[in-house]
Amino acid sequence: MFAAMFVVAVSAMLAVAAAQAPSEPPAALRRPNLQVLTSVPESQLFPIMNAIADSLGVRCDHCHVRVSPDPTKTWSLAGGWVWDRDDKQPKRIAREMMRMVLDINARQFGGRMVVTCHTCHRGALAPDRFPPLPPRDYSTISETPAPTLPTVEDVWNAYIRAVAEPAGGFSTTVLTATDDRSEGRHGTLEVIFKGADRVRFMSRMPPDPLASQTITGESGWIASGSGSRPLRPDELLRVRRAALRYRPIKLDRPANARTLGVERVGTRDAYVVVTEPDARTKMMWFFDVATGLLLRERTTTETALVPLQEQTDYEDYRRVDGVMLPFVMRFADGAPFSRANRVFTSISHNVEVDDSTFEMPAPPPAFVWSRGDYQVTLVVREIGHNVPAR
């Protein structure tokens, strides 16, 4: 009886999650050994795994098998994973724990993700059972009344005044930054805006080749060492959202938002403005109480098992051409190896930017050789002269 009730409860919960998930095929189509998260889309599978690992304070190899990783690359990029192997006991235990979490939320909370791995583990492999000793003293101070909060309109207007972007904006903006990633990786980033509808990102992260993403009006393209191609519609949305973070006003005016309270961000008090654009997504912005400037933004996306969070912090505001701009941006999500800190070394406005900057590179020349039923296509990636033979 219990087993039947469990199956019904968990199946109902996964069905709800699948209905809320993006219109994307489930990861189980490509990964037939998935046994619990069968309805999770591929784009959410690895972020969910990262959130679980972070909740338990472990790495991927705690549960998963790794064979012959590349010793020349950093730990997270070395590859060699055989995800569908079930050699390790912790992986089998993890499946049972996932089922338990799904069952608790389905039975007690109507399928809402109230209990997660972090609820009990708090970054440790063994869950906490006891509060720390000695116990905390009871507070004898009477609770202070909740402060009167400004309206979202007041917070937004204070933000616009604090940034002080010119009414007509700038014809062009060029930003250059150092790009420091987890695992000791260091590179550079250049962002170029021209007008209201063109932007190009150029990222250099040795030993990887130069990578770029560009939007021109309603279309865009991506280029790397493997060539260039148009951006898909979902990629266009992500690049547009990323571009907004590098403009003076870093968010669209929040719709259907409310001022939630005051929280501490570093050493600053911040008004928290929250909106829920859909049933799966919550967006929060933290505005400095004293200056009105944006200090942090956080997006929470509900999935079938754990909520996923992405956070951007804005620090070291300086005035450039009359506009207040952050010279430090910090990015974090549930993966310890995907953190990034960007420190701007130059921000220039109204400089000359050629239109060709936003044109997609021509594809490399290709040579086709055919014989009978066989055809070989050679694509030239690099041409060199007077170089030693290999």
pLDDT at 346 over 90: yes
Among residues 306, 334, 310, 301, the alpha carbon closest in space to that of 50 is found at: 334
Dihedrals phi, psi of 220, to nearest 5 degrees: -170, 175
Q: What is the pLDDT of residues 15-68, one digit of tens each?
A: 444 444 446 889 999 999 999 999 999 999 999 999 999 999 999 999 999 999
Q: What DSSP character marks residue 12?
A: H
Are 364 and 380 in contact by the 8 Å Cβ rule? The answer is yes
pLDDT at 304 over 70: yes
Q: Which of helix, strand or coil describes residue 287?
A: strand
Q: What is the dihedral of CA 150, 169, 199, 275, to 10 degrees?
A: 10
What does the block give as tokens for 253? 């005016």
Task: Give the separation between CA 169 and CA 165, rounded to whole angstroms.
Answer: 6
Which residues pair with residue 53 across a beta bridge? none
Among residues 200, 206, 168, 202, the alpha carbon closest in space to that of 186 is found at: 206
Are 265 and 296 in contact by the 8 Å Cβ rule? The answer is yes
pLDDT at 386 over 70: no
**What does the pLDDT read at residue 389?**
44
* Whole-number Cα distances in Å, 334 to 16, 51, 287, 299: 23, 5, 23, 12
What does the block give as tokens for 153? 């309109």
Among residues 316, 358, 321, 320, the alpha carbon closest in space to that of 341 is found at: 316
Helix (H) or strand (E) holding 56: helix 42-56
**What does the pLDDT read at residue 131?**
87
Share of the chain above pLDDT 70, in %: 87
- List of residues 6+ apart from 230 with CB closer than 8 A: 219, 220, 221, 222, 360
Per-residue pLDDT band for 379 (boundaries 50, 70, 90) equals low
Are 35 and 86 in contact by the 8 Å Cβ rule? The answer is no
Task: Give the separation between CA 206 and CA 341, rounded to whole angstroms.
Answer: 16
Per-residue pLDDT band for 364 (boundaries 50, 70, 90) equals low
Which residues pair with residue 308 across a beta bridge? 301
Mean pLDDT, all residues of the chain: 88
Domains along the chain with CATH numbers = 2-121 (no CATH), 152-358 (2.50.20.10)
**Half-sphere exposure of residue 147, counting CA atoms within 13 Å on the CB side?**
13
Task: Give the separation between CA 143 and CA 123, rounded to whole angstroms.
Answer: 31
Q: Which residues of 80-91 are buried (b: 16+ CB within 10 A; e: fewer)?
A: eeebeeeeeeee
Q: How many residues does the chain have?
A: 390
